[in-house]
């Protein structure tokens, strides 16, 4: 079942979205690819998905959308995998932290590829110790700055590229997806 509400209405409606929940932001999608994205999402959710596409003013030949989803833990990764097939999209998928489970954020741009981060209960990007140690070793051998490596580890290049597209989502409507199989 899908319900169309705005972002405020989603929280006001008191919808039970499932043990895990998150948001899908399709920041830019070529108009001709939009139906294929809906079909890919339908495979993840096990039911028809109709997305309320809006014009993307930052990239006039594209559309954008925002969806709130709920389902079992790990659904965010399944959504990100389904969208990864569309290399011309700019998108972000989040899965909020839930009891016994850290959250995740997946960001994708055509120029940078896929970025995945673990999100803690307070919304912070969590960088594992082994990745920090590797970054420090790389800095010593390549001479690059530690600040640049840490920025990459927390997704700063993806954030910088996606920010103009994120701003275009202000005032958008949201489609709520739940009862994920």
Domain ranges (residues) in the chain:
2-177
**Cα–Cα distance, 83 to 92 (Å, whole number):** 9
pLDDT in tens, 87-113: 999 999 999 998 888 999 999 999 999
- The pLDDT tens digits for 8-43 are 333 334 455 678 999 999 999 999 999 999 999 999
pLDDT digits (tens, 9 = 90+) for 106-160: 999 999 999 999 998 888 999 999 999 999 999 999 988 999 999 999 999 999 9
**What's residue 167's pLDDT?**
85
Residue 109's closest CA among 27, 22, 24? 27
Q: What is the DSSP letter of 101?
A: B
Q: Write down the pTM of the prediction.
A: 0.83
Point out the least confidently predicted range of 44-58, 75-89, 134-148, 159-173.
159-173
């Amino acid at each position: 079942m899908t319900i169309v509400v705005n972002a405020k209405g989603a929280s006001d409606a008191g919808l039970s979205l499932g043990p895990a929940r998150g948001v899908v932001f399709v920041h830019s999608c070529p108009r001709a690819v939009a139906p294929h994205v809906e079909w890919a999402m339908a495979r993840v959710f096990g039911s028809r998905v109709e997305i309320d596409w809006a014009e993307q003013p930052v990239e006039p030949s594209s559309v954008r959308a925002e969806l709130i989803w709920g389902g079992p833990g790990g659904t965010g990764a399944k959504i990100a995998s389904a969208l990864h097939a569309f290399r011309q999209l700019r998108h972000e998928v989040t899965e909020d932290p839930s009891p016994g489970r850290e959250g995740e954020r997946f960001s994708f741009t055509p120029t940078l590829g896929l970025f995945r981060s673990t999100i803690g209960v307070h919304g912070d990007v969590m960088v594992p110790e082994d990745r920090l140690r590797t970054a420090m070793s790389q800095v010593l051998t390549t001479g690059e700055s530690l600040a640049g490596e840490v920025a990459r580890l927390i997704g700063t290049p993806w954030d910088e590229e996606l920010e103009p597209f994120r701003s275009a989502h202000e005032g958008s409507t949201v489609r709520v997806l739940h009862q994920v199989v």
